[in-house]
Amino acid sequence: MIMLDEFDRLGKMPIVAESIKTLRSFGGNLAIVTQTIPALDEIYGENTRRSLQGGAGVKLYLTPSEQKTIEELSQAVGKTTKRVVTRSRAVGRNPFEGRSVSERTEDTPLLTEDQARRMDLDEVILVIDAQMPIRARRIKYFEDPALKVLHAGQAESFPYPDEDGLRRDRQMTETRETVEKLKLELQEVRAAAGAKEVAAPSASLPTGDPRTPGQYPKPVPSRRARGRATRDAVDGDVSGQLSVDLASLGLKEADRNELASAVKTTRAIIAEYT
């Protein structure tokens, strides 16, 4: 969860508008908090602001005071229909003549602008995708019994993230990226070596060739032979060219497995192309 409070005061950040929908597909949640809608329009423009609203699966409105925000809230809640009955009577000598009754159905807002303006300060409006709007009351942690217990159990402020843990996470992220790059480079090198192998001449000397066997080009090992040598090198020690004590790094089991995979891949490259 990434919370951006006072979002309009942080300045223009185009990457937020571009990535708000992509974050959801990766399991990320973004909470954008702003005082009024015109404050966002001033920085991002109305079209970008509407794009941000469209990418938000849940929109929460507190009691508004700005006119445009009030209008947006009333429109977001939606409309309903109601029956309207109209009675009229023409004034004349006969009071029973000239009377008429008409009935019609018309649209009316579920939350009028005046109702939105006069909302209680503890009330909120939730507009959720594919659901009816919800009018609810805010929960105050210092009044709610369950939240009071949680708050009392928190002896002090939450600590800052562990620096060593952050450093290990960064190292493992860089290691994973390096492993992927090495795998791609190894595939490219193997593909190039395979192409050379197809084009290489036979190691046997033709009849009448004046050159000695030492002058003739050295034959390229087959793919199968190179692969076998690579696997042997991965299982072996590769003459001590790469030695890492994984236990001394203080990494988690999953991270040690990732790093061990990176070491094996590097050993394979050293064994095959040195």
Q: Residue 257 is inside which H or E element, if any?
A: helix 253-273
Between CA 153 and CA 43 the distance in angstroms is 41
Between CA 129 and CA 54 the distance in angstroms is 9
- Residue 161: band (very low, low, confident or very high) from pLDDT cuts 50, 70, 90: low
Residue of 74, 15, 6 whose CA lies nearest to 39: 6
**Which has more pLDDT, 202 or 78?**
78
Tell me what percent of the residues of the chain surpass a pLDDT of 90: 18
Dump pLDDT digits (tens) for 26-53.
778 889 999 889 998 999 899 888 888 8
All structural domains of the chain with their residue ranges = 1-56, 70-82+104-159, 163-200+217-273
Dump pLDDT digits (tens) for 50-81.
888 888 889 999 999 999 999 999 999 999 99
Average pLDDT of the residues in 217-241:
51
Residue of 25, 26, 24, 35 whose CA lies nearest to 58: 24
What the block records as the tokens of 146 is 């369950």
Average pLDDT of the residues in 240-268:
62
